[in-house]
């Protein structure tokens, strides 16, 4: 059994060496047609690293030809399949701009935006790429308003906006935990303004009642009145928008104390 395994390993290593040797000779070859056909073959076999290396060598030679367009298109997908979305987006955009009348122009314009989408990080990280992704997807929809990909673009934008919303919500929560009530209130207000259809509306208004009340409690006497009133206003907004809210009953004592403070 061990002998068979060793024999298989030796055969594998020998085949790998032969393959590498053959590939190295191909790289040094002056036969560009052979390189081109080999690059296509590697691409079909999903060996994107070798395919990309050969296409890169052929770019300048075939520029301005139909093969040059094919190379441009395949290189973009090589980077995409290697999950280098930043570079892939560059090549997709370049292809769409270089060949605007190509049947693949719309596809590449979409893929450029989609690469930005895939490169968008998790909510806890900087969201610059997320904002860029939304802009690129919107630019695609503006350029191709009749595209069959419009519905998908809207879904992708919704996903990205949900990520931005989560980021903003977590920042507001952090301010609340740090007892920086003014910053928390402002952050919650901004969240409701930026995302009026948020599913967190009920939760945010509940937290605004508590934040405004605690802010009033820790404020100087001259500022307390307006802040107790803000707590009551947040409660009334919650009651109006979510009359069946599970938070109303638990907030009643807080609102009662705020009203009592205002009557004194």
Residues 213-241 have pLDDT tens digits of 999 999 999 999 999 999 999 999 999 99
- Counting every residue written for the chain, the total comes to 264
Task: Look at the pTM and tell me if it is higher than 0.75.
Answer: yes
Q: Does residue 4 have a pLDDT over 90?
A: no
Question: If you write DSSP's letter for every residue of the chain in order, what string do you get?
Answer: -HHHHHHHHHHHHHHHHHHHHHHHHHHH-S-HHHHHHHHHHHHHTT-HHHHHHHHHHHHHHHTTSHHHHHHHHHHHHHHHHTT-HHHHHHHHHHHHHHSTTSTTHHHHHHHHHHHHHHT---TTS--HHHHHHHHHHHHHHHH-TT-TTHHHHHHHHHHHHHHHHHHHHHHHHHHHHTT-HHHHHHHHHHHHHH-TT-TTHHHHHHHHHHHHHHHHHTS-HHHHHHHHHHHHHHHHHHHHH-TT-TTHHHHHHHHHHHHHHHH-
pLDDT of residue 20: 63
* 51 located within any domain: no
Phi, psi values for residue 179, rounded to 5°: 65, 30
- Which residue, chain included where needed, has tokens 């403070």? 261
What average pLDDT does this structure show over 104-133? 96
Structural domain including 240 reads 178-264
- pLDDT confidence tier of residue 2, bands split at 50, 70 and 90: low
pLDDT of residue 17: 44
229, with CB counted inside 10 A (0-12, 13-18, 19+), is: middle
Q: Pull the structure tokens for residue 201.
A: 């509306």
pLDDT of residue 11: 41
More confident residue, 233 or 19: 233
pLDDT of residue 18: 46
- pLDDT confidence tier of residue 21, bands split at 50, 70 and 90: confident
What average pLDDT does this structure show over 106-129? 96
DSSP three-state, residue 69: helix
- Residue range 245-254, pLDDT digits in tens: 999 999 999 9
Rounded to whole angstroms, how far apart are CA atoms 38 and 44? 10
* 189 located within any domain: yes
What average pLDDT does this structure show over 4-31? 61
* Of 180, 182, 185, 106, the residue nearest 142 (C-alpha): 106
pLDDT of residue 1: 55
- pLDDT confidence tier of residue 3, bands split at 50, 70 and 90: low
* 206 located within any domain: yes
Q: Does residue 166 have a pLDDT over 70?
A: yes
- Residue range 169-201, pLDDT digits in tens: 999 999 999 999 999 999 999 999 999 999 999
- Residue range 27-63, pLDDT digits in tens: 888 889 999 999 999 999 999 999 999 999 999 999 9
* 220 located within any domain: yes
Q: Does residue 161 have a pLDDT over 70?
A: yes
- 36 Cβ contact list (under 8 Å, min separation 6): 54, 58, 62, 67, 71
Domain count, the chain: 1
Q: Pull the structure tokens for residue 221.
A: 């006497």
Q: Does residue 15 have a pLDDT over 50?
A: no
Mean pLDDT across the chain: 92
* 246 located within any domain: yes
64: left (phi over 0), alpha (psi -120 to 50) or beta: left
Rounded to whole angstroms, how far apart are CA atoms 118 and 87? 12
pLDDT of residue 44: 97
């Amino acid at each position: 059994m061990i002998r068979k395994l060793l024999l298989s390993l030796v055969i594998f290593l020998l085949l790998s060496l032969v393959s590498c040797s053959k590939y190295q000779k191909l790289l040094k070859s002056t036969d560009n047609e052979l390189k081109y056909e080999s690059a296509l073959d590697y691409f079909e076999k999903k060996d994107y690293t070798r395919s990309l290396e050969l296409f890169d060598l052929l770019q300048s030679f075939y520029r301005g030809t139909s093969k040059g367009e094919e190379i441009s298109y395949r290189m973009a997908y090589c980077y995409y399949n290697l999950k280098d979305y930043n570079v892939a987006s560059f090549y997709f955009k370049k292809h769409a701009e270089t060949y605007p009348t190509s049947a693949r122009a719309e596809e590449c314009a979409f893929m450029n935006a989609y690469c930005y989408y895939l490169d968008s990080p998790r909510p806890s990280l900087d969201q610059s790429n997320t904002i860029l992704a939304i802009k690129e997807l919107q630019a695609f929809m503006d350029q191709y308003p009749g595209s069959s990909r419009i519905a998908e673009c809207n879904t992708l934008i919704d996903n990205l906006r949900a990520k931005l919303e989560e980021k903003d919500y977590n920042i507001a929560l952090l301010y609340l935990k740090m007892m920086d009530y003014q910053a928390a209130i402002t952050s919650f207000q901004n969240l409701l303004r930026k995302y009026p259809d948020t599913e967190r509306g009920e939760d945010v208004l509940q937290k605004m009642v508590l934040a405004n009340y605690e802010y009033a409690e820790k404020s100087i006497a001259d500022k307390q009145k307006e802040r107790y009133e803000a707590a009551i206003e947040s409660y009334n907004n919650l009651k109006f928008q979510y009359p069946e809210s599970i938070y109303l009953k638990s907030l009643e004592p807080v609102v009662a104390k705020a009203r009592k403070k205002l009557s004194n």
